[in-house]
Structure 1
Amino acid sequence: MSVNGSGSGFDYWRLKLRAIVLLVFGRNAAAEATFDQMIQAWPQDPYALASRAHLRAQRGARDEAIADYQLLVSAHPDRSAAFWFNLAFTLESASRLPEAEAAFRRALELDEKLDRAWYGLGLTLIQQGRYDDAVAALKRNTELQPMSPYGWYQLARVHMDRQQPDEARKIIRHLKGFEPKVAAQLERETGLAA
């Protein structure tokens, strides 16, 4: 709970419990209204801000979600790489790529092993046409998550964009060992055979 709040500790926990129960029963709008109450009383509370931002993003209110995530990271800049990742992910989905890149990089400053942030950074860099930087980010993602096909798939696509079919073939061969469906999809999309 934020120490800057204007309500009592009992009120905070009552509202938090109410929000959790509402979420369990799928009453997201009522839960969001409860988070509104919490934020009115405790404007910098990380739980309420993160939860409301998540609900707003789920219902497609992306700009409102971004505003909440920005408040969250402004109030708690060093608290959690996940806060920065969620901001970055939402910014990327809104095609606000330079801002998303900066937020992914901040998440990685806080937790260099956050594989999702390396992947998101890679996607953001691809969309900006910065393929060399994207390769570095995606390679780091695949080092951290070697059995996940997503980073490998994007890495192969970047190698094709960079006119490096031999590198893409190596990835397809690698994927055949644990994700044959993804390897087959890459073969179809690129016209390459491992």
Structure 2
Amino acid sequence: MPSRLRALSLLALLVAAACDDTPKIDPKDRAEGLYIKGTTEYLHGDFEAALASFSEMKQILPNDPRLPAAVGEVYLSMGKLNEALAEFQTALVLEPKRSTTWSRVGFIQAQTGKTEEALSSLRKAIGLYPNDFNALEQLGEIHLKRGEKDEALRHFTLAAQASPDKLKPDFVIRAAEILQQQDRHAEALELLRKFAGQGVRAPEVLTALGDELVRAGKMDEAAASYREAAGKSPKDPSLWELVGRIYASQGKRADALAAFQESLKVKDRAIVHVAIAQLHLAQQDRKAAEEELGKAFESVSGSDVRELLELSELLVTFGRKADALKILSNLASEPDNARSADLQLRTARLARELKDEATVKAACGRVVGNDAGGVSACP
């Protein structure tokens, strides 16, 4: 536009503004602005402000079909289930074929114990949109609570396929856990491999896959899975530890040491120093093993039962049985460990060897008192 014409246009706008200081806004535009404002406030967690914006919008466009669902979402986020349900049901009158609304209604009905109504609503949601992963998840939850594990498995698997990438790992793990709880490990391995092959390679999925590969005796694949998981979980030292233990079991001493050192870079833990000491002992390097034992004592947490048990075993190897018994007797006397027959019996056997009859009696007494297994094995 030539500069002269642009100037005339601006002058015309200024003259119009001078004549009327109040700009005229179309009511529909104002309502749309309030809808956007309320939605933004909702997404930022300012629920009361969002409700106020939607209320103001309703005064302008009372029959806007988006309003009840929007208000329902706010109430749902506030935990006001009854109010949310009423809004969503109103929304269904206006838009009966909106799957998300049916899904929300089904979710609320499930939370309030109306299971059959929830199943009906959620199935309607799926009928309208088969990839509604929220509805699929809720159906999985309902079937799981009813003990219908195959149906729960099917719906969690479908939810994993339909959900956004960032949500897929949770659904995959839920499905895998159902199989694992039923000792259907071959199926769990197949499922985890399938989704990992489809790109669902979150640390938790790779870790679960590694666990199943170990159970299946596929150690090289398990080590690779744990390594990848470790690379994606830089704050988790246990994954590198698992890699090291696999390599140690395969006699790959250098690889095991390297993996254990990676674990120590993440966190200095006694259990890893014990594992390194055992590698040195296997090579008849007692001096290096003793150095690792010293590091283990420096880094011991005192709350990790597995760590303390392995430390006690290493002490026995070094002939320091009295020190090992102190660790075991302290562990065995803790209320949380009182029902562990294995721990009590291990403590009793070492105490018997050292002729500590008081500790033998206490440990065996806890075994008998808790009616735990292995009573006949108590020395």
Q: Distance in 2 between matches of 1:55 and 1:89?
A: 15
The alpha carbon displacement at 1:17 in A equals: 1.6
Which of residues 165, 178, 191 is equivalent to 1:171? 191
Which residue in the other structure is 1:160 paired with?
Answer: 180
Which residue in the other structure is 2:94 paired with?
Answer: 75
Which residue in the other structure is 2:117 paired with?
Answer: 99
Residues 13, 31 of structure 1: CA spacing in aligned structure 2 closer, same or farther, 3 A cutoff?
farther
Say if 2:201 is the partner of 1:181: no
Identity %: 23
Q: Distance in 2 between matches of 1:44 and 1:22?
A: 17
For residues 123-142 of structure 1, the C-alpha deviation after alignment (integer angstroms, 9 at most, x for no partner) is 22212222122222233334
Q: Distance in 2 between matches of 1:92 and 1:183?
A: 32
State the TM-score, normalizing by the size of structure 1: 0.72
Q: Distance in 1 between matches of 2:37 and 2:152?
A: 42
The alpha carbon displacement at 1:56 in A equals: 1.0
The 10-residue stretch of structure 1 (105-114 or 127-136) with the greater mean CA deviation from structure 2: 127-136
Residues 44, 131 of structure 1: CA spacing in aligned structure 2 closer, same or farther, 3 A cutoff?
farther
Which residue in the other structure is 1:21 paired with?
Answer: 37
Q: Distance in 2 between matches of 1:77 and 1:132?
A: 31
Q: Which amino acid aligns with 1:170?
A: E
The alpha carbon displacement at 1:97 in A equals: 3.3
| Paired residues of 1:135 and 1:158 also in contact (CA < 8 A) | yes
Q: Which amino acid aligns with 2:202?
A: E
Say if 2:156 is the partner of 1:133: no
Q: 2:147 is paired with a residue of what secondary structure? A: coil
The alpha carbon displacement at 1:105 in A equals: 0.7
| Paired residues of 1:23 and 1:31 also in contact (CA < 8 A) | yes
Q: 2:69 is paired with a residue of what secondary structure? A: helix
Q: 1:91 is paired with a residue of what secondary structure? A: helix
For residues 72-112 of structure 1, the C-alpha deviation after alignment (integer angstroms, 9 at most, x for no partner) is 1233212x112212223343444543333222211111112
Q: Distance in 1 between matches of 2:65 and 2:192?
A: 42
Q: Distance in 1 between matches of 2:120 and 2:182?
A: 24
Q: Which amino acid aligns with 1:128?
A: R
| Paired residues of 1:131 and 1:162 also in contact (CA < 8 A) | no
Number of matched pairs = 182
Residues 13, 124 of structure 1: CA spacing in aligned structure 2 closer, same or farther, 3 A cutoff?
farther
Structure 1 residue ranges without an equivalent (≥5): 1-9
Q: 1:71 is paired with a residue of what secondary structure? A: helix
Q: Counterparts of 1:52-71 in structure 2 under 5 Å?
A: 52-71=71-90
Structure 2 residue ranges without an equivalent (≥5): 1-25, 217-379
Residues 180, 23 of structure 1: CA spacing in aligned structure 2 closer, same or farther, 3 A cutoff?
closer
Which residue in the other structure is 1:5 paired with?
Answer: none
Residues 83, 153 of structure 1: CA spacing in aligned structure 2 closer, same or farther, 3 A cutoff?
same
Which residue in the other structure is 2:141 paired with?
Answer: 123
The 10-residue stretch of structure 1 (137-146 or 156-165) with the greater mean CA deviation from structure 2: 137-146
Which residue in the other structure is 1:87 paired with?
Answer: 105
Which of residues 170, 193, 199 is equivalent to 1:150? 170
The alpha carbon displacement at 1:62 in A equals: 1.9
Q: Distance in 2 between matches of 1:100 and 1:106?
A: 10
State the TM-score, normalizing by the size of structure 2: 0.41
- Structure number with the bigger relative contact order (C-alpha 8 A, sep ≥ 6) is 1
